[in-house]
Structure 1
Amino acid sequence: MLIDSTLREGAQMFGVYFSDAQRRDILSGLIRAGVDEVEIGWAGQDGLEDLLRHGRKEDPSERTRLTVWSPLRMLDLARLAAMGVRRIQFGVPVSDAHIEHRLGMDRAGLLLRLQNILRRAAELEMAFVGVGLEDVSRADRDFALQVVRVVEECGGRRIRLSDTVGLLTPLETAELVRWFADRTDLAIGFHGHDDFGMATANAITALASGAESVDVSVLGIGERAGIAALEEVAGHLNFRRGAGYDLKQCVCLARMVAEAAGVPMVRNKAMTGEDVFACETGLHLQALAKDPSLFEPFAPEKIGANRKLGLGGKTGKTAVRQAAHRQGITVPSHGIENLTCGVRLLSQTLARPLFEEELRALAMTADSAASSSESCHVP
């Protein structure tokens, strides 16, 4: 199960300010993509009540569940209940550094506060209460387990294991998830940051190791290096596990969020980059012509992308001949080497692959390019 946090974690990215209209559009897109749950914001955030109404209007059946994040404060709980929030995810620091330096408390005080707030949430008849174990990757596990026991006793439904500064590797993530799964019947979620580029791998590993849900955001945006990317995790779950997320919608969301957040769309970024189905290497071009699955994990049409084949300095005679044939260009056998040489030289001069019209122009002058072949060995 995917919990998207673009509107909470993503909105905390440095310099990102979504307008109300953009927040509504993002939420609508997430609902259309079939995301299981959306963390729509945090307690005290402006416009939260309007966004909650918009989400319920877009999805009356509430197939996509809407959750709000909150710190452990009675006042925030009361305000969220008053505006009709029925699903709350509390953030609870469990490492001593966070408890002491951030909250100014000790372990006993934190447990008492958590107990009191969870009991109050039960009195308010909250439909769902989850508790995030913040900085659990640096916490004393025995104490973290004490927090879990309070959640169990007070009617909580889920714990979320948070790798707050992205320290874990996939192997460590698997061990952490299994450790808690062996000790509680609560649903387990995972929230991993990408400070060392591990977030997507850790999220997928968490799901394979017993976690029921993982947090993602569109393009992985969030604090610092962000978290796992929605489109990457959803793509993996679709193609490896038969999930049913709308990947075309995920890619559309990525473009929308990139523009709204001022985040560049990297051309070779997994799932969303414009060049992830581009090729100009000779051996790969030959293989793609025979069977695209030899060098593609799935068909580009699955995400609304197009295959882009180019000719350049890395291209051999066979690939040039195939490209000419696709365009209806007849090249005599004695001219293919000259044409290939011309393709390589022009590509190197322009420092890019060639367009179709440039190949046609070169084909017309292939015979006259014989002199060039002396400085261009074509295998």
Structure 2
Amino acid sequence: MSTASSPYARITDLLSNISNFNVIDTTLREGEQFANAFFSTEQKLKIAKALDDFGVEYIELTSPVASEQSREDNEKICQLGLKCKKLAHIRCHMDDAKVGVETSVDGLSVVIGTSSYLRKFSHGKSMETIYQVAEEVVTFIKSKGKEVRFSSEDSFRSDLVDLLKLYRHVDKLGVNRVGVADTVGCAHPRQVYELIRTLRGVVNCDIECHFHNDTGCAVANAYCALEAGATHIDTCILGIGERNGITPLGGFTARMYVADKAYVTDKYNLHMLRDIENMVADFVEIQIPFNNYITGYCAFTHKAGIHAKAIINNPTTYEILRPEDFGMTRYVSIGHRLTGWNAVKSRCEQLDLHLTDAEIKEITRKIKELADIKPLGIEEVDSLLRVYHTYIESSNYENMTAAANAAGDEIKQKASN
């Protein structure tokens, strides 16, 4: 399906890369900055291999100057024979660059703060000095045959004139990409679109974007960046990273799937997402959130009666994502006071219990009555349906209401025991 045929993809800009983007997953760099993260060498190798199998185009690794162990781990990852490109994150400093070019990575991700906050309270350099250092570092890295991405830090709180001048400068030096970073998560989609659209008219190289999620806009910002002409998006598994993290790989995948399903399903091994997220969640000792994109416990759970009826008839009525495409399954919850008889009927059919619509409506009434006391688990509902079916089949009760009440009493007795 092309984006032109998707009613959910508002693609009117010729610069849009909604169907032509690359993922740079930085779980092994940004993700290491997550509060609970402390990846062992073995864990890093597993994450790198899983991301490569999923199909990301790049993985970004911790700076080789961070520690000796980091440098050794990076080398081991580079020896895995991965299909994706390996990048190492470094400061815009010649000392870092000299170490970086001696490693086995395919490229270096160079970064320096450009906002007044960072220039004053972090590295203390003027914009003029930044121009000079950037030229020195970029030229050196290119002379060693490495891919180069040059990024400003805290881009959305930087002076626009300074920013564009710096990007134009490094673009002329031949960088592969310039990077835009919403380091504090302050940007919103309209700001992102306007900045990336402006930048697209200034540089010829690719544009990479890195969005923090402090205000909940990371996925939307990534999408708008691609609409405006960005080419690469930074992600992390489960969105882990500094503070509230960055654009989650799963959430970004969900958004792009809706924009162009065929492109995303051909590009990535979507069935791997759940296992990758479970693995990293285990490594950093967290639970997958109940409302996590695609893989959360409730992602494909339907409860309201009117929803359940429509879902049974046609899942697309209330699902924009097809769970089967991600190796997931939908669940229609029926053991509660909001349930509808159509959902109960569907469950009876699954259990091969033959009841009339009138009988199903009566047992649905009983389920609602019991669920007013407490929600019923699926095992309790199934047991109730089977007992009711037995009573109806045996004709020991004069009417279906009596059978439903007797079945309910039996289930309550079992529960009390």
Amino acid at match of 1:122: K
Q: What SS class does the counterpart of residue 204 from structure 2 fall into?
A: coil
TM-score, scaled relative to structure 1? 0.91
Select the residue among 165, 173, 187 that pairs with 1:146: 165
CA contact (8 A) 1:40 1:51 kept: no
CA contact (8 A) 1:162 1:190 kept: yes
Q: What SS class does the counterpart of residue 372 from structure 2 fall into?
A: helix
Q: Report the alpha carbon displacement of residue 333 of structure 1 after superposing the two structures with TM.
A: 4.7
Runs of 4+, deviation exceeding 4 Å: 362-366, 369-372
Select the residue among 74, 91, 98 that pairs with 1:71: 91
Q: Which residue of 1 aligns with 2:401?
A: 367
CA contact (8 A) 2:75 2:104 kept: no
Amino acid at match of 1:58: L
Once the two structures are superposed, residues 217-259 of structure 1 have per-residue CA deviations (whole angstroms, 9 ceiling, x without a partner) of: 0011111111111112123334432131111112211111111
Q: Which residue of 2 aligns with 1:214?
A: 233
Select the residue among 65, 80, 91 that pairs with 2:100: 80
Q: Which residue of 2 aligns with 1:27?
A: 48
Instruction: Verify: 1:292 aligned to 2:315, yes or no.
Output: yes
Q: What SS class does the counterpart of residue 350 from structure 1 fall into?
A: coil
Distance of 1:78 and 1:23 partners within structure 2: 24
CA contact (8 A) 2:150 2:179 kept: yes
Amino acid at match of 2:293: A
Amino acid at match of 1:40: L
Amino acid at match of 1:229: P
Select the residue among 280, 286, 290 that pairs with 1:257: 280
Q: Give unmatched runs, 5+ long, in structure 1.
A: 373-379
Seen in structure 2, the aligned counterparts of structure 1 residues 152 and 336 have a Cα distance that, compared at 3 Å, is closer
Q: Report the alpha carbon displacement of residue 107 of structure 1 after superposing the two structures with TM.
A: 1.8
Once the two structures are superposed, residues 288-324 of structure 1 have per-residue CA deviations (whole angstroms, 9 ceiling, x without a partner) of: 2212222222332211112212212111223222322
Q: Report the alpha carbon displacement of residue 171 of structure 1 after superposing the two structures with TM.
A: 1.5
Amino acid at match of 1:237: M
Amino acid at match of 1:28: K
Distance of 1:68 and 1:332 partners within structure 2: 65
Instruction: Verify: 1:357 aligned to 2:383, yes or no.
Output: yes
Instruction: Verify: 1:15 aligned to 2:49, yes or no.
Output: no
Instruction: Verify: 1:281 aligned to 2:307, yes or no.
Output: no
Distance of 1:135 and 1:251 partners within structure 2: 32
Instruction: Verify: 1:201 aligned to 2:220, yes or no.
Output: yes
Distance of 2:230 and 2:181 partners within structure 1: 12
Q: Which residue of 2 aligns with 1:178?
A: 197
Q: Report the alpha carbon displacement of residue 364 of structure 1 after superposing the two structures with TM.
A: 4.7
Instruction: Verify: 1:131 aligned to 2:157, yes or no.
Output: no
Q: Which residue of 2 aligns with 1:117?
A: 137
Q: What SS class does the counterpart of residue 2 from structure 1 fall into?
A: strand
Once the two structures are superposed, residues 331-366 of structure 1 have per-residue CA deviations (whole angstroms, 9 ceiling, x without a partner) of: 345433431122112233333553333432455566
Shifted more, 70-79 versus 49-58: the winner is: 49-58
Q: Which residue of 2 aligns with 1:314?
A: 338
Q: Which residue of 2 aligns with 1:59?
A: 81
Seen in structure 2, the aligned counterparts of structure 1 residues 320 and 176 have a Cα distance that, compared at 3 Å, is same
Q: Percent same amino acid among aligned pairs?
A: 25
Instruction: Verify: 1:157 aligned to 2:176, yes or no.
Output: yes
Select the residue among 106, 109, 113 that pairs with 1:93: 113
Amino acid at match of 2:108: I
Distance of 2:36 and 2:358 partners within structure 1: 59
CA contact (8 A) 2:101 2:146 kept: no
Amino acid at match of 1:297: I
Instruction: Verify: 1:329 aligned to 2:353, yes or no.
Output: yes
Distance of 2:245 and 2:196 partners within structure 1: 21
Distance of 1:85 and 1:327 partners within structure 2: 56
CA contact (8 A) 1:282 1:314 kept: yes
Distance of 1:305 and 1:363 partners within structure 2: 31
Seen in structure 2, the aligned counterparts of structure 1 residues 105 and 352 have a Cα distance that, compared at 3 Å, is farther
Once the two structures are superposed, residues 181-226 of structure 1 have per-residue CA deviations (whole angstroms, 9 ceiling, x without a partner) of: 0111121111111111100111111112100111110011111111
Q: Report the alpha carbon displacement of residue 80 of structure 1 after superposing the two structures with TM.
A: 1.8
CA contact (8 A) 1:338 1:369 kept: no
Distance of 2:347 and 2:404 partners within structure 1: 20
Distance of 1:149 and 1:156 partners within structure 2: 10
Shifted more, 175-184 versus 51-60: the winner is: 51-60
TM-score, scaled relative to structure 2? 0.83
Q: Report the alpha carbon displacement of residue 23 of structure 1 after superposing the two structures with TM.
A: 0.8
Once the two structures are superposed, residues 42-61 of structure 1 have per-residue CA deviations (whole angstroms, 9 ceiling, x without a partner) of: 2323434444444344335x
Seen in structure 2, the aligned counterparts of structure 1 residues 352 and 158 have a Cα distance that, compared at 3 Å, is farther
Amino acid at match of 2:362: N
Q: What SS class does the counterpart of residue 6 from structure 1 fall into?
A: coil
Q: Which residue of 2 aligns with 1:376?
A: none
Instruction: Verify: 1:343 aligned to 2:367, yes or no.
Output: yes
Amino acid at match of 1:367: T
Instruction: Verify: 1:2 aligned to 2:28, yes or no.
Output: no
Amino acid at match of 2:157: R
Seen in structure 2, the aligned counterparts of structure 1 residues 344 and 357 have a Cα distance that, compared at 3 Å, is same
Q: Which residue of 2 aligns with 1:377?
A: none
Q: Report the alpha carbon displacement of residue 174 of structure 1 after superposing the two structures with TM.
A: 0.8
Instruction: Verify: 1:269 aligned to 2:303, yes or no.
Output: no
Seen in structure 2, the aligned counterparts of structure 1 residues 84 and 360 have a Cα distance that, compared at 3 Å, is same
RMSD of the alignment, in Å? 2.1
Distance of 2:172 and 2:357 partners within structure 1: 80
Q: Which residue of 2 aligns with 1:247?
A: 270
Q: What SS class does the counterpart of residue 352 from structure 2 fall into?
A: coil
Q: What SS class does the counterpart of residue 288 from structure 2 fall into?
A: coil
Amino acid at match of 1:348: D
